Copies of this chain bind each other. A is one copy, B any other.
Amino acid sequence: MSRQANRGTESKKMNSELFTLTYGALVTQLCKDYENDEDVNKQLDKMGYNIGVRLIEDFLARSNVGRCHDFRETADVIAKVAFKMYLGITPSVTNWSAAGDEFSLILENNPLVDFVELPDNHSSLIYSNLLCGVLRGALEMVQMAIDVKFVQDTLKGDNVTEIRMKFVKRIEENLPAGEE
């Protein structure tokens, strides 16, 4: 915690290209390490989850965003504050389910794939799957269990990249007896 405190809320603004290329090196390494795309996808999601679990603390400290009152507010904070802060883009929030428990983030441009083309032998690779894990891990830390997955991807020839987020349940905090 002391190191966190030292960093304070100062933020280092950088261009995304070094990140994009470094992420590419990570995905390439995983493709070497694992037999098939499904395992790489799982690994990316898992790594993302671990990142999200840590990133949420930084996000709450920097953004001064308070507790969201409903899932719509959560969606807006993710798109307009979190994506802007960490990827420099603002996805649009669309395709709400009638029940209000599902929405899509539409990324016109996904900085992670700026220099990328999928080779033919990796047609099942969900290249940016780390992002799903990050969202899942970060939201879990604020007591929301969410399903996150890519349903469209410009890398697969779609016009936009679409991340679908589905609210699963509120995670009850285990409060000590006597506290409400």
Contacts and interface: CB of A to CB of B under 8 A. Distances in A.
Interface of A: 3, 7, 11-19, 21-23, 25-26, 29-30, 33, 47, 50-51, 54-55, 58, 62, 85-89, 111, 114-115, 130, 134
A106 to B, nearest CB: 16
Contact of A18 (B26, B29, B134): B134
Contacts of A55: 17-18, 21
Nearest to A26: B26
B22 A51 contact: yes
Nearest to A18: B86
Given A11-B16, A21-B51, A54-B115, 16 more contacts: A7-B114, A11-B17, A12-B15, A12-B89, A12-B111, A13-B13, A13-B15, A14-B14, A14-B86, A15-B62, A15-B85, A17-B86, A18-B87, A19-B22, A21-B55, A22-B26
Contact of A86 (B11, B15, B51, B58): B15
15 contacts: A7-B114, A11-B17, A11-B88, A14-B14, A14-B16, A15-B86, A17-B55, A18-B87, A19-B19, A22-B23, A25-B26, A26-B26, A26-B29, A29-B47, A33-B33
A22 B130 contact: yes
Contacts of A14: 13-16, 19, 85-88, 111
Nearest to A30: B29
- 6 closest Cβ contacts across the A-B interface? A12-B88, A12-B16, A18-B86, A19-B19, A21-B51, A14-B88
A81 to B, nearest CB: 11
A102 to B, nearest CB: 25
Contacts of A11: 15-17, 88
Contacts of A23: 22
